[in-house]
Copies of this chain bind each other. A is one copy, B any other.
Amino acid sequence: MQKPSIPKGTRDFGPAQVARRQHIFNVIRRTFESFGFAPLETPTLENLSVLTGKYGDEGDQLLFKVLNSGDFAKDVTAADLEVGSKALLPKVAEKGLRYDLTVPFARYVAMNRGTLTFPFKRYQMQPVWRADRPQRGRYREFYQCDADVVGTDSLLCEAEIVLMMAQVLNGLGLNDFTIKINHRGVLHAIFQSLDKEGITKSASFNLAGKTWGYAAMESSLFVAIDKLDKIGREGVTKELLERGFSAANIETLFALLTVEGSYEVKLQRLLAGFVTAGVEPDGPRPDAADEEAAANYRGLTELAQVRDLLVASGFKQFDRLEFDPTLARGLSYYTGCIFEVKINNVQMGSVSGGGRYDNLTGSFGLPGVSGVGFSFGVDRLYDCLEALDLFTVTGETPTRCLITHFDAASGRAALPLLAQLRAAGIPAELYPDAKKLGVQFKYADAKGIPLVLIMGPEEVATGVVKVKIMQTGVERVLPLGEVVAALTAE
């Protein structure tokens, strides 16, 4: 006889947990829908040709692959076995489990380009799977809730992401949050502010035999900055020195990254910093007449515009919106604004994040589709709500009302009432077995059923029902014909 278990990093959700998770899903769904996002669902199984290469080498490792059905090993040769798992993989598996909701969305848009109406706004709330090492707040099977707009570069979308993030967190009662915003253009301009002499002459990269252009150095800068939270300024400095950035450059870098003040003051200080560093705008400067400031100053301009749209939309929580020039977000496909949300009074990674991308569907044959999107991590939101004790008490059952009885005859006599309660929208049960009243009450108590009706032979004979409110213990006797109306009114 086997002892049953579930795979590590996965979970069962019992009735109370499902009810609590549904509460989170409902708040998110209502928010997404009120902003005009329409639901999409994609299959759990995707072709590995769609998934592989989209999440970097590490991501490819973490993909769950599904064995081909039937005689899966028929094409494997002894030579493959010699080489190992890498040679075997393409011969034994052609499907994998959804790793995120973004790539399936991009695939869907590319496959249905002919019939979709753009801008296309979709939300998606589905589980994803990663063969990651399970730890606190990290599971192998977990839900993501994404909303994306593709087919417009309007900054209204960015402003609405901030509105939606705030609305969901407020709706859940998670009031102590910080929405961090930055722009890849700001990071680009920060890179441009560095002394080029102090970058490319790095010996360590030449040794690796690779040609490191500025683009690669810029990426490596983002990757290092992204670790600031984890390894601190000292750690980032060490890493950047190793990567071939001069000490003077690192000083310039931190001077820009650590500007202080409000959202608007930081924008102004960075602008001054870039001008001082002699950063060339690729287009007109933002103080010029033309509204469109290109490349090097685009980040600052757009961040200012997003803030302006939030003001016009009546957004009031600017104390919870922080322009953070150190926010980098590892994923390389972002090209504009980037976002990340933390709950301040809980020790927990970010509960939401996102950003704008310019070429999400390019690898599926549909280039030049700009979009912006973001995602909520439901499992982390759940853990935050639990840590802060913000869940309302949920019973183990939807049942509002249990009918107890003395014997088969009184139980049978209760059946019309049971049907009436349900027809009136009151979830109800008749205790199914002829057991002692104490057992039946214990059942109601253990499941958190708030109301118990008692049908004994006496009640049946006189046409009444005893109603007991479990929480208070208050009992009253009602004529059979008035029970449903009385309970509906409550």
In angstroms, Cα B39 to Cα A6, docked, is 19
Is A34 on the interface with B (CB-CB < 8 A)?
yes
The minimal Cβ–Cβ distance linking A359 to chain B, given in whole angstroms, is 13
| This protein's copies in its complex | 2
* Distance between A75 CB and nearest chain B CB, rounded to angstroms: 11
Tell yes or no: A380 within 8 A of B by CB.
no
Given contacts A41-B13, A422-B35, contact A69 B62 (CB under 8 A): yes
CA distance A72 to B87 in the complex (A): 11
Q: How far apart are A383's CB and chain B's nearest CB, in angstroms? A: 17
Query: What's the dominant secondary structure at chain A's contact region?
Result: mixed
Interface size class of A (residues with CB under 8 A): 35 or more
In angstroms, Cα B41 to Cα A18, docked, is 7
Query: Hey, which chain B residues are within 8 Å of A61, CB to CB?
Result: 69-70
Whether A81 contacts B81 by the Cβ 8 Å rule is: yes
Task: Tell me if A59 counts as interface (CB < 8 A to partner B).
Answer: no
Known interface pairs A152-B432, A427-B35; A72-B43 also in contact (CB < 8 Å): no
Measured between beta carbons, the chain B residues less than 8 angstroms from A117 are 396, 443, 446-447
Contact across chains for A47 and B3 when beta carbons are under 8 A apart: no
Q: Given A69-B131, A95-B7, A415-B312, does the pair A432, B45 have CB atoms closer than 8 Å?
A: no
- The segment out of A121-129, A242-250, A257-265, A349-357 that lies at the interface is A121-129
Q: Which residue of chain B has the shortest Cβ distance to A110 in the bound complex? A: B4
**Residues on B with beta carbons closer than 8 Å to the beta carbon of A149:** 432
Is the CB of A344 closer than 8 A to any CB of chain B? no
Question: How far is A316 from B122 in the complex, measured between Cα atoms in Å?
Answer: 44
CB distance from A120 to the nearest CB of B (A): 9
Contacts A10-B45, A76-B81 aside, 13 further interface pairs with beta carbons under 8 A come to A3-B365, A5-B47, A6-B45, A7-B95, A15-B122, A17-B41, A38-B398, A62-B69, A64-B66, A70-B131, A117-B396, A313-B418, A313-B419
> What are 20 A-B contacts defined by CB distance under 8 Å?
A4-B50, A5-B50, A7-B45, A7-B47, A18-B39, A21-B41, A22-B39, A36-B429, A38-B396, A38-B447, A39-B398, A43-B141, A78-B78, A117-B396, A117-B447, A121-B397, A152-B433, A154-B432, A313-B418, A314-B419
The 3 closest A-B pairs by CB, nearest first: A15-B38, A154-B432, A10-B43
Which residues of A pack against B, CB within 8 Å? 1-7, 10-15, 17-19, 21-22, 33-47, 49-50, 61-62, 64-67, 69-74, 76, 78, 81, 84-85, 88-89, 92-93, 95, 97, 107-108, 110-112, 117, 119, 121-122, 127, 129, 131, 140-141, 149, 152, 154, 156-157, 163, 309, 312-314, 363-365, 396-399, 411-412, 415-416, 418-419, 422, 425-430, 432-433, 443, 446-447
